[in-house]
């Protein structure tokens, strides 16, 4: 029986996701086919279609899951949130490389920015500019770190961010 979260089904989905992410590193999204994925995973097309509508649905579901995982990392605000963020990115490097390659950072915004704090720390009139500046700066730092192979530890990256943000 193909129950929603049984072990075999979960393993099939994980195979599909891994192959898909690997393929995205060398191909554009529109160049990847269900047939390509099924050949590389040795799974039937019916297995793919039992879990995903098409390639774009697969990409969306991966993005949604990562954003959900990412956002749960920051439900409790503490002094280690930047370190948690960089640790999550470090542990999911391939996905984040794909995330940025597909431009999801421009379409969707993960919710780590404390807007209430920004309005408290900055002039309310210009806070929206600060938030946008911070978000784009952070994305650039993450992209640079990923492109360099994440040589610095998540702890070092958190310190870099903290020193640039000057404790605010």
41 and 74 within one domain: no
Q: Is the pTM of this model over 0.75?
A: no
Burial (CB < 10 A; 0-12, 13-18, 19+), residue 30, is exposed
Cβ–Cβ under 8 Å, residues 161 and 81: no
Domain that holds residue 4: 1-52
Burial (CB < 10 A; 0-12, 13-18, 19+), residue 88, is middle
Total domain count for the chain?
A: 2
- The whole-angstrom separation of Cα 62 and Cα 68 is 10
Can you give the CATH number for the domain in which 12 is found?
1.10.10
pLDDT reported for residue 4: 60
DSSP 25: T
Last residue of a domain, one of 14, 29, 52: 52
pLDDT reported for residue 144: 95
Burial (CB < 10 A; 0-12, 13-18, 19+), residue 122, is middle
DSSP 122: S
Cβ–Cβ under 8 Å, residues 73 and 85: yes
80 and 163 within one domain: yes
89 and 168 within one domain: yes
In sequence order, the 6+-apart residues with CB closer than 8 A to the CB of 15 are: 41, 43
pLDDT reported for residue 2: 55
76 and 1 within one domain: no
109 and 40 within one domain: no
44 and 12 within one domain: yes
pLDDT tens string, the chain, 168 residues long: the values are 455 668 899 999 999 999 999 998 889 889 999 999 999 999 999 999 999 999 999 999 988 887 787 777 666 556 677 888 899 899 989 888 888 888 877 765 555 566 666 666 666 667 778 778 888 888 899 999 999 999 999 999 999 988 876 655
pLDDT reported for residue 154: 95
- The whole-angstrom separation of Cα 90 and Cα 38 is 28
């Amino acid at each position: 029986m193909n129950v929603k979260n049984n072990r075999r089904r979960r393993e099939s989905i994980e195979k599909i996701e891994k192959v898909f992410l690997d393929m995205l590193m060398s191909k554009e999204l529109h160049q990847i086919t269900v047939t390509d994925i099924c050949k590389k995973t040795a799974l039937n097309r019916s297995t793919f279609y039992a879990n995903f509508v098409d390639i774009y649905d697969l990409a969306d579901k991966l993005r949604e899951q990562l954003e959900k995982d990412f956002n749960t990392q920051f439900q409790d605000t503490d002094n280690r949130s930047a370190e948690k963020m960089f640790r999550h990115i470090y542990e999911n490097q391939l996905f984040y490389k794909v995330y940025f390659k597909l431009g999801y950072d421009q379409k969707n915004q993960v919710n780590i920015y404390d807007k209430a704090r920004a309005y408290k720390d900055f002039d309310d009139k210009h806070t929206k500019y600060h938030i946008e500046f911070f978000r784009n700066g952070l994305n650039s730092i993450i992209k640079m770190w990923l492109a360099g192979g994440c040589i610095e530890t998540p702890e070092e990256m958190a310190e870099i961010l903290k020193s640039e943000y000057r404790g605010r």
